A and B are shown apart, each in its own frame.
Chain A
Amino acid sequence: MRYSGFRVLAEGLRGGKGWQPFWRKAAPAAEYDAIVIGGGGHGLATAYYLAREHGLSRVAVLERGWIGGGNVGRNTTIVRATYMLPGNQEFYSAALKMWQTLAQDLNFNLMYSPRGLLMLFHSDGQRDAFARRGNAMLLQGDDAQLLDRAGLRALVPYLDYDQTRFAVHGALYHPRGGTVRHDAVAWAYARAADARGVDIIENCEVTGFDIAQGRVGGVQTTRGAIRAGRVGMVVAGRSSELAARAGLRLPVESHVLQAFVTEGLKPFMHQVISYGMGHFYISQSDKGGLVFGGDIDFYPSYAQRGGLPRAEQVMQAAMTLMPAIGRARVLRSWGGIMDMTPDGSPVIDHTPIDGLFVNAGWNYGGFKATPASGLCMAHLMATGQPHPLAARFRLDRFASGAVIDEEGTGATHHLH
């Protein structure tokens, strides 16, 4: 069924009786051309592009839980292309361009909102670093603008500019950055993949891999064995656990990253704002709630809930930056489990096992990468060659030294 304004009107007139589920409840077949493990945004996108770009007709997505129940539903919905290092830069730039037309491509309202993203700086050194980053973004073909204090104040008058602790000196403004409705992304990719014949199989956990003579032949699941010569692991957050079932060890630690939502308020925050003196960022959803988050808890966790010390630190950062929101009540918080790699950049690569591919290590930034990640992973699985956009996201870069340390803190696990 194709969605349109006319369709909404027509269904409204006949009581919505014509609406259908977004995807079929598929049962696993005995064999597929390709299996994608993980029904999150990246996994569904991978399956969609396998079908659309490479014409694979027999593709399955295996999801342990339900579609939309993982990190695609546990993020702060921000999209941006503010990266500086080769490898990340062209990849995230391409991802943002895909977001711009994705709603039309998938025929689904993703509520893409290029509302602009402001990265605040608080010292001369930080301004210089952001000027450099902005220039790198311009060279890549993205948009960036350095705002001084007066320019920033005209856009966001409600920050605490007069504080002496971390005075706000200005911001790097990225007008095309913004937000996308995260659940809709999962549903839209699931619906579009299903329409191209992909089997989306929920409640199906992969318990083991069939590997013979260094080549994958299929997977064992809670719903039986399934054969396939190409298997992709797209389960960020749980990558180590799944890879261990194939006998692999990954350069990944799993950490919890928290986010918070307040009650709905009238619109007053028209951009995404990130604070330069603490890992804090905030935006206002279309529903009116303030959506904000901070840093990881800094010890590994699979609990999907965060610790109170980090929650306190995030609230402190919010109050330091914008005391105006102090009376807004926090309605809920959640924690997502993140694959943290030593250099903070992802992996889209072969594994040492033929036919087994890995898409992992999305750290803080998996959501914004979703379309490009799916495109590159599908390319890798279909052709056996890395997509040019993701050619540097190699699993062996820690051995070779070609790390992508975007944060510049050193490519070691406990440093970021």
Chain B
Amino acid sequence: MRLICPLCGARDRREFTWMGAASLLARPPPGGDFVAWLHERDNPAGPLDELWLHEAGCGALLRGRRDTRSHDCAPLQLAGGSA
């Protein structure tokens, strides 16, 4: 599998570390439901919005949509918005 980094281009999947579903970015406010945020997971058989860290590359936290049945993956975007 190859993933497309917005900064580096198409790279081997081994350069990336999977960080979780993108819903992790929506941290609840103080007093919110942290148990659900931390432990209950988006885990669909199908398209999943997720986070990848380009650990052995540019180091950017990236976000993209991948189909968990086929591993078809759209080009990734910077998780924090455009550079």
Interface residues of A (CB under 8 A from B): 238, 240-241, 244, 249-254, 298-303, 307, 309, 342, 398-399, 412-414
Number of A-B contacts (CB under 8 A): 60
With A302-B69, A303-B69 as contacts: A241 and B45 at CB distance below 8 Å: yes
**Inter-subunit contact A300/B43 (CB<8 Å):** yes
**Inter-subunit contact B41/A413 (CB<8 Å):** yes
- Residues of B contacting A301 in the complex (Cβ-Cβ under 8 angstroms): 68, 71
Q: How far is the CA of A307 from the CA of B18 in the complex (A)?
A: 14
Chain B binding surface, main DSSP class: mixed
- Residues of B contacting A249 in the complex (Cβ-Cβ under 8 angstroms): 36, 40-41
B 6-37 binary contact with A (CB < 8 Å = 1; else 0):
00000011100111100000000000000110
Q: How far is the CA of A238 from the CA of B69 in the complex (A)?
A: 12
Chain A binding surface, main DSSP class: mixed
Which of B35, B45, B69, B71 is within 8 Å of A398, CB to CB?
Answer: B35
**Inter-subunit contact B45/A250 (CB<8 Å):** no
Q: How far is the CA of A251 from the CA of B43 in the complex (A)?
A: 9
**Inter-subunit contact B41/A250 (CB<8 Å):** yes
Which of B18, B35, B39 is within 8 Å of A414, CB to CB?
Answer: B18
**Inter-subunit contact A307/B44 (CB<8 Å):** no
Q: How far is the CA of A353 from the CA of B81 in the complex (A)?
A: 40
Instruction: Name the distance in Å between B46's Cβ and chain A's nearest Cβ.
Output: 8
**Inter-subunit contact A300/B39 (CB<8 Å):** no
- The 8 closest A-B CB pairs, nearest first, are A240-B43, A299-B18, A251-B39, A249-B40, A302-B45, A398-B39, A399-B35, A302-B69
User: Is B48 part of the binding interface, using a Cβ–Cβ cutoff of 8 Å?
Assistant: yes
Q: How far is the CA of A240 from the CA of B1 in the complex (A)?
A: 25
Q: Write the chain A residue with the least CB distance to B18.
A: A299
Q: Write the chain B residue with the least CB distance to A412.
A: B38
**Inter-subunit contact B19/A414 (CB<8 Å):** yes
Instruction: Name the distance in Å between B49's Cβ and chain A's nearest Cβ.
Output: 12
- Residues of B contacting A412 in the complex (Cβ-Cβ under 8 angstroms): 38
